[in-house]
Every structure is written in structure tokens, then in C-alpha cells.
Amino acid sequence: MQYREFGNTGFKASEIGLGTWQFGGDWGEISDEEINAILKAALDSGVNFFDTADVYGAGRSETLVGNFLRNQSGNTFVATKLGRLEGYPDNYSLELLKKCTENSLRRLGRESIDLIQLHCIPVSWLKDGEIFDWLRALRSEGKIRYFGASVETMEQALICLEQDDITSLQIIFNIFRQKPLEILFRKAAEKKVALITRLPLASGLLTGKYTKDTVFSSSDHRSYNRNGQAFNAGETFCGLDFDYGLDLVNQIRPLVPASMSMSQFALRFILDYPEVSVVIPGASKSKQVISNVSAAGFEPLGRHVHLVLAQLYQNEIEKNIRVEV
Ligand SMILES: NC(=O)c1ccc[n+]([C@@H]2O[C@H](COP(=O)([O-])OP(=O)(O)OC[C@H]3O[C@@H](n4cnc5c(N)ncnc54)[C@H](OP(=O)(O)O)[C@@H]3O)[C@@H](O)[C@H]2O)c1
């Protein structure tokens, strides 16, 4: 595993972290045993950065991450989120943020939360800015160490960057979603804001393992939010139509070297950008974690591959994303 500076914090985050939305049940059922195996595989492989949220399984993901890490030695960094379990979309206050933070602290079993991220809250709250002062108040009280935001569009990301002391931005960035490269990467690097990149595998599409016949369970967002019926369509398959995504995967397949799986290729694509602090693939099985972590050990993909993928994005993919990016 290689480690990168996490913004201004002095913490060195593993290039590959672990996303834990899967632990909440929005990806179909998953047992506590499987979750513990996933966490163990991650920790044993050198992962030290874990992304969760209070809303994932209404606290289940935080609780299981907290219970697991409580018994481990070593320096780990847990990023959680608030703003979706309670308050969404227009009922935020300092009191509410404090209550949510205290609940997360209890579930995670920590004295202070490493990083709290606003969880895709409406842009009007980001523009208004007072909510960031409430986060500063929580930081002054010692309840959190750092704050950041998880956002859906580049407009939202740039608004957040105006907050001088924001530590991190969580964005969607992968082969199918290359817009952050245009302006955000440079600006975030200038301000030493850590970039956490989610959906690195486009909800699994970029593993290359699905076909037109793949069926997801009814409790899996890839079934019930496939076209944005429950929340922002961009969070499921990056906002691409599933069948169209499969066609794209087949166009990309010839670029993948024989020594790599398509998942490793997709993760390596992201790691080739030094502006990225940590990539947070989710996993439903421990063996996926082990494969994902090994992506960090491959050589960069090279200029030609990046050029071909940039052209594919610009000429073909961008216009087919069904949400604002
Ligand atoms: N708004 C937000 O802030 C927000 C939104 C979305 C995600 N996130 C965070 O970002 C994390 C990552 O995003 P994501 O989980 O949505 O999508 P993702 O990482 O792009 O895809 C995860 C899925 O890919 C498949 N997979 C992973 N590794 C694999 C491997 N080596 N081989 C085969 N299949 C593999 C698994 O699918 P199967 O289950 O089909 O096996 C897994 O559930 C989340 O867990 C969460 O922490 C945050």
C-alpha cells in the first residue's frame, strides 16, 4: 500500500480506502460476519481510511465500523457524514448538527470524529455558508477534528472551496466521470484540500462483471434507484443508463492490460492523478477488497490510455450522463 497526504491534516491516507455504504443494506442484504471480514481484509491490507455516514442503515454502518476499529491498534481515520439521516433538506441548525455528531460519536466509539462531511445537502445551504460556522463550532468543542463536504456537482465543489479551512471534498471521479479534471483538481491542490473519490467503479459497472441479464435485488439501489427514483441518479451507475454503461465497458475492455482486472484498471486510472488523496471503493465481499487494494501496486496506465479515455469521455460519455455534474 502507498500513502498520500490527506490535505493539510498531516495524516497519510492509504491510496485505497474503504467505502462502507454497502454495510447499510442499500446494496442488498449483508451479514455482520461478512462486514467484519471486509473490514479485516481492509485493515490487514494496509487500508487506514474508512468512509461511512450516519444514514447508511440508519447507523448500522457507523456502528459496525466503530465496533471493529475499537479493538484494533494502529492509526486509522474515519470519515463520516451528516445531513441525510436528519434535517434534509431544509431543517438544519447548530443544535441538529450537534445532536447528529454526538450520535455518530457514540456509534463510532471515538472521542472525536476525524472528519465530518456534509452529505450532499442542497446547494442553497452551501452558498449561505452558515452551516460551515456550525461545523467550526463543533470543531472548537473538540467533537470533530476536521470538516468537509460530499458533493454532486462541480458548482457545489467550487462553492465549498471558498471556505478557507475546509479539509476535504468528496466527489464522483472515475473513467465515466472526468469533469473534475477540468478545474477542480488544480484548485483543490492549490488550497491543499484533500479529494476523496467515490463511485470509483461506477457502482460496480467498471468491474466488467455485469451483463444485460444481471438482476439486482429489490433492496439494492441499483434496482430501486436505477433511474433516480429514490435519490440523485448520479449516485447509481454515475447517472448512466445501465445498458449504455455495459456498452461503454465493452469499448474500454481492449485497453485493459492482461495483467490487470478491469476493476484494478479503473482504480489505477484514478490513482494516476496525484491530486486525489484517497479512493474509496465499496465492497460486498472481502476478496473484492484484496483485489482493489492491489491496484495501488500497478504502474500508471500511461499517457496514451489516459488520452483515449479522455476522448471517450468528451466525445461520447459526457452528453449521456443524465444529471448535472
Ligand atoms: N453521497 C455520498 O457521499 C456517497 C454516495 C455514494 C457512495 N459514497 C461512498 O463511496 C463509496 C464507494 O462508492 P460505491 O460503493 O457507491 O460504488 P463503487 O465503489 O463504485 O462500487 C462498489 C461495488 O463494486 C463491486 N466491486 C467492488 N470491488 C470489486 C471487485 N474487486 N471485483 C468485483 N466487484 C467489485 C461490488 O458490487 P457487488 O455488490 O455487485 O459485488 C461493490 O458493491 C461508498 O461505499 C460510500 O462510502 C458516498
Q: What is the pLDDT of residue 209?
A: 98
- Residue 203 alpha carbon to ligand 1 centre in Å: 5
- Which residue's alpha carbon is nearest to atom 29 within ligand 1? 288
- Residue 268 alpha carbon to ligand 1 centre in Å: 15
Residue 82 amino acid letter: L
Residue 199 CA, closest ligand 1 atom number = 20
Residue 119 CA, closest ligand 1 atom number = 3
Ligand 1 contact, 20 CB (< 6 A): yes
> Does residue 152 sit in helix, strand or coil?
coil
Take residue 113 and report the three cell numbers written for it.
470524529
Ligand 1 contact, 170 CB (< 6 A): yes
Residue 129 amino acid letter: G
Ligand 1 contact, 21 CB (< 6 A): yes
Please report the beta strands in the chain, taking only residues with DSSP state E, as ranges in sequence order.
3-5, 12-14, 18-19, 49-51, 77-82, 113-119, 144-150, 168-172, 194-198, 276-279
Q: What is the pLDDT of residue 161?
A: 98
Question: What's the CA gap between 60 and 52, in Å, rounded?
Answer: 10
Residue 292 CA, closest ligand 1 atom number = 31
Residue 248 burial (CB count, 10 A): 20
Is the pTM higher than 0.95? The answer reads yes
- Residue 163 alpha carbon to ligand 1 centre in Å: 29
Residue found under cell 445531513: 83
Mutate to test the pocket of ligand 1, among 175, 284, 294, 323 (most ligand atoms within 8 A of CB): 284
Q: What is the pLDDT of residue 73?
A: 87
Instruction: Describe the crossing of helices 303-312 and 262-271 by its angle, rounded to 10 degrees.
Output: 100
Please report the beta strands in 123-240, taking only residues with DSSP state E, as ranges in sequence order.
144-150, 168-172, 194-198
* 3-320 placed in CATH 2.40.290.10: no
Q: What is the pLDDT of residue 174?
A: 98
Instruction: Describe the crossing of helices 94-108 and 130-140 by its angle, rounded to 10 degrees.
Output: 50
Query: Which residues make Cβ contacts (< 8 Å) with residue 245, sequence separation at least 6?
Result: 176, 202, 205, 237, 238
**CA-based angle 80:81:84, to the nearest 5?**
150
- Residue 284 alpha carbon to ligand 1 centre in Å: 8
Ligand 1 contact, 104 CB (< 6 A): no
Q: What is the pLDDT of residue 71?
A: 87
One pLDDT digit (tens) per residue for the chain, 325 residues: 999 999 999 999 999 999 999 999 999 999 999 999 999 999 999 999 999 999 999 999 999 999 999 989 889 999 999 999 999 999 999 999 999 999 999 999 999 999 999 999 999 999 999 999 999 999 999 999 999 999 999 999 999 999 999 999 999 999 999 999 999 999 999 999 999 999 999 999 999 999 999 999 999 999 999 999 999 999 999 999 999 999 999 999 999 999 999 999 999 999 999 999 999 999 999 999 999 999 999 999 999 999 999 999 999 999 999 999 9
Q: What is the pLDDT of residue 193?
A: 98
- Residue 84 alpha carbon to ligand 1 centre in Å: 19
